[in-house]
Amino acid sequence: MTGRTRTMDMIDNGPNPNAFDIEEATLANDDYRRVVWTGRHLQVTLMSIPVGQSIGLEVHPDNDQFLRIEGGEGRCVMGPAEDQLNFQQDVSDDWSIQVPAGVWHDVINTGSEPLRLYSVYSPVHHAHGRVHPTFEDAEADEESGEDEPPAWTGHELPQWTVGPVR
């Protein structure tokens, strides 16, 4: 992959300052979810949703979420309850989705290739640097309590060092 970001080489160096080509990294990502940066109040993840699958119907009571589609086609559904998903929108390259805290939501891959997107959470929602190759891996981590934000996201930040991310 000459000229492309290899997501397997990316590390979550948060809360250190960071910059990378997010479109390139998103399109290169094959993992269901990969946390690529964790700050005290904000977190960035890359996602790749296989054909016919979805991110999974969910609600984040305390997190606003921004998603941007970089590749593929899908359908976004949202609503006040899991049986009241009255907002529906087809989405594709360059579309963004804004999910307010407390709103049920899902993004379903309706296309013929993986749906590639990135997500920004505020406040932090996942464990620092966590990589979930599949939806099932993500579910298992959440059920076991292994996918919790680091303690420092609610407290004093650790000392950081300036340096580039591989």
In a domain, 101, yes or no: yes
Mean pLDDT of the 136-155 span: 82
Classified as helix, coil or strand, 47 is strand
- Whether the pLDDT of residue 151 is over 90: the answer is no
In a domain, 9, yes or no: no
Q: The domain spanning residue 106 has which CATH number?
A: 2.60.120.10
- 75 bridge partner residues: 90, 108
User: DSSP string covering 119-140, please?
Assistant: EEEES--S-TT-EESSHHHHHH
Split at pLDDT 50, 70, 90, the class of 164 is: very low
Split at pLDDT 50, 70, 90, the class of 59 is: very high
Extract the tokens encoding 24: 């390139």
In a domain, 94, yes or no: yes
Whole-structure pTM value: 0.84
Whole-number pLDDT of residue 10: 78
Mean pLDDT of the 86-96 span: 98
Query: Are the beta carbons of 157 and 15 closer than 8 angstroms?
Result: yes
Query: What does the angle CA 140 – CA 45 – CA 129 come to, to the nearest 5 degrees?
Result: 65
Mean pLDDT of the 104-130 span: 93
In a domain, 164, yes or no: no
CA pseudo-torsion sign 147, 84, 109, 3: negative
The total number of residues shown for the chain amounts to 166
Q: Minimal CA–CA distance to 157: which of 11, 12, 14?
A: 14
Mean pLDDT of the chain: 87
Extract the tokens encoding 153: 């996201």
In a domain, 155, yes or no: no
- Whether the pLDDT of residue 162 is over 50: the answer is no
In a domain, 4, yes or no: no
Give the helix, strand, coil percentages of the chain, each rounded to 5: 15, 35, 50
User: How far is it, in rounded angstroms, from Cα 89 to Cα 87?
Assistant: 7
In a domain, 88, yes or no: yes
User: What domain range is 34 assigned to?
Assistant: 25-148
Tens of pLDDT, residue by residue over 7-49, are 557 788 878 898 999 999 999 999 999 999 999 999 999 999 9
CA 149 and chain centroid, separation: 14
End-to-end CA distance of the chain: 15
Domain count, the chain: 1
- Whether the pLDDT of residue 141 is over 80: the answer is yes
In a domain, 16, yes or no: no
